[in-house]
């Protein structure tokens, strides 16, 4: 294999001023310097980077970001400084803590017929935003589809999240997960919970597979793991990632019980139990009795209409006739009623946290 390296070129006016800064302050190693009688070029390496600092180079000095587990112990506790050649240096945490924004509560209705644009995202998947406001950055809810079936050009990756749900509403998709055995097929009505930082890879999908993906917070980092091979050799179904277990919940053979809202029944996905209450996910259908007005006290309550029709009544608002593909968010304390459900109505309800109180009337 050819020995190939890459380096970034930065300009300087006086190389001798840069050498002590890059070696002593930033802790890099000087690998080359030339010509000997009047040096114009020096090459430094360190922190996963190779820099070529060249006198009179035409580029702008740019910004160099150094990520470290101890930013306050690096560069004499300075978090921002400027090199003699003008390059700005920013010292940041290697793995900054996950920030959970405070929820900006609002009533949201998103209709499929409003023709919200589909955006081509990661691995060629099409994304439709179901909560454009993101409730202040606290949640992202996406309707995702892969129009053309077959192998998916994905890599082993993970997400730095607080909670993530994948719920299949049409077709099927094959995914393999760290420490969970061979590939699993998610079909319509099934769901995965992907605990924070679990490695996984999407392998193959049917034509027009569609899933609902919920992520908390809205903005989170996806990282590629170039080292791990999936499937892993160990099967560890009881393993926890930041207190959460992987869940593969299947629709087939599910038991149905009276829902928290009269007039409906539900099946539990066990996600509240396996996330220790971080979130709850229920599939809801028409039951016996008349729907009633109700309010809740959970932080986020998101619902997606998977099938049929229903009318969302909101206190002080006009009725919203909803159908397949529509979504809504009900803020805590707001009285609503899901009236006139069709016999085939089926809803996906996601709540954060998973344990809360519903007040009827």
Cβ neighbours of residue 170 closer than 8 Å, sequence gap 6 or more: 145, 188, 208, 209, 210
Pair 331, 107: CB distance under 8 Å? yes
Average confidence (pLDDT) over 317-324: 96
Average confidence (pLDDT) over 42-61: 96
Average confidence (pLDDT) over 336-351: 98
Q: Between 140 and 119, where is the model more confident?
A: 140
Q: Between 262 and 120, where is the model more confident?
A: 262
Q: Architecture of 257-360 per CATH?
A: Sandwich (2.60)
pLDDT at 125: 79
Average confidence (pLDDT) over 302-311: 98
Pair 110, 131: CB distance under 8 Å? yes
pLDDT at 147: 86
Enumerate the domain spans of the chain.
Answer: 8-93, 118-246, 257-360
Chain mean pLDDT for the chain: 95
pLDDT at 57: 96
Calpha distance 26→188 (Å, rounded): 53
Average confidence (pLDDT) over 42-60: 96
Average confidence (pLDDT) over 52-66: 96
Calpha distance 241→289 (Å, rounded): 41
CATH 2.170.190.11 for domain 118-246: no
Q: Identical fold at 118-246 and 257-360? A: yes
Query: Confidence band (pLDDT; 50, 70, 90) for 120?
Result: confident
276: exposed, middle or buried (C-beta count within 10 Å: 0-12, 13-18, 19+)?
A: middle
pLDDT at 123: 65
Interval 204-236: pLDDT, tens: 999 999 999 999 999 999 999 999 999 999 999
Interval 90-117: pLDDT, tens: 999 998 888 899 999 999 999 988 877 7
| 16 has pLDDT over 90 | yes
Calpha distance 182→232 (Å, rounded): 8
pLDDT at 53: 97
Read out DSSP for 274-286?
HTTTS-EEEEEEE
Average confidence (pLDDT) over 24-43: 95
pLDDT at 336: 98
3-class DSSP assignment, residue 182: coil
Interval 126-143: pLDDT, tens: 899 999 999 999 999 999
| 121 has pLDDT over 80 | no
The CATH class given to the 8-93 domain equals: alpha beta
Average confidence (pLDDT) over 176-184: 97
Calpha distance 275→289 (Å, rounded): 32
Cβ neighbours of residue 186 closer than 8 Å, sequence gap 6 or more: 166, 168, 172, 173, 174, 175, 192, 211, 248
| 124 has pLDDT over 90 | no
Calpha distance 247→239 (Å, rounded): 11
Distance of CA 7 to CAs 54, 125, 224, Å?
A: 12, 33, 22
pLDDT at 44: 98
Average confidence (pLDDT) over 187-192: 97
Of 53, 49, 83, 44, give the one whose Cα is nearest residue 66: 49
Interval 146-179: pLDDT, tens: 888 899 889 999 999 999 999 999 999 999 999 9
* Residue whose token pair is 């209409």: 305
| 1 has pLDDT over 70 | no
């Amino acid at each position: 294999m050819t020995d190939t390296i890459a380096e970034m070129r930065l300009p300087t006016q006086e190389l001798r001023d840069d050498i002590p800064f890059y070696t002593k302050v930033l802790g890099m190693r000087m690998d080359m310097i030339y010509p000997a009688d009047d040096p114009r070029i020096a090459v430094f390496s360190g922190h996963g980077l190779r820099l070529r600092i060249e006198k009179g180079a035409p580029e702008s000095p740019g910004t160099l970001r150094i990520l470290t587990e101890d930013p306050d112990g690096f560069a004499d506790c300075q978090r921002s400084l400027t090199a003699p050649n003008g390059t700005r240096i920013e010292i940041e945490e290697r793995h900054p803590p996950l920030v959970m924004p405070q929820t900006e509560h609002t009533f949201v209705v998103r209709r499929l017929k409003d023709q919200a644009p589909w955006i081509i995202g990661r691995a060629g998947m099409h994304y439709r935003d179901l909560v454009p406001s993101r409730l202040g950055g606290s949640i992202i809810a996406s309707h995702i589809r892969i129009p053309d079936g077959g192998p998916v050009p994905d890599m082993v990756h993970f997400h730095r999240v607080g909670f993530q749900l994948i719920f299949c509403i049409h077709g099927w998709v094959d995914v393999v997960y760290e420490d969970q055995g061979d590939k699993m097929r998610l079909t319509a009505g099934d769901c995965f919970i992907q605990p924070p930082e679990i490695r996984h890879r999407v392998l193959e999908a049917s034509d027009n597979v569609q899933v609902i993906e919920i992520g908390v917070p809205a903005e989170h980092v996806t990282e590629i793991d170039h080292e791990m091979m999936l499937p892993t050799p160990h099967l560890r179904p009881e393993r926890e990632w930041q207190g959460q277990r992987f869940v593969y919940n299947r629709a087939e053979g599910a038991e149905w019980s009276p829902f928290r809202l009269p007039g409906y029944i539900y099946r539990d996905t066990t996600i509240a139990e396996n996330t220790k209450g971080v979130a709850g996910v229920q599939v809801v259908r028409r039951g016996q009795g008349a729907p009633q007005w109700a309010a809740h006290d959970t932080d986020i309550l998101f619902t997606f209409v998977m099938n049929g029709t229903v009318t969302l009544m909101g206190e002080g608002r006009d009725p919203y006739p909803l159908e397949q593909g529509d979504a809504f968010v009900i803020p805590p304390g707001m009285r609503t009623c899901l009236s006139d459900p069709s016999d085939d109505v089926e809803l996906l309800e996601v709540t954060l946290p998973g344990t809360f109180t519903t007040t009827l009337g």
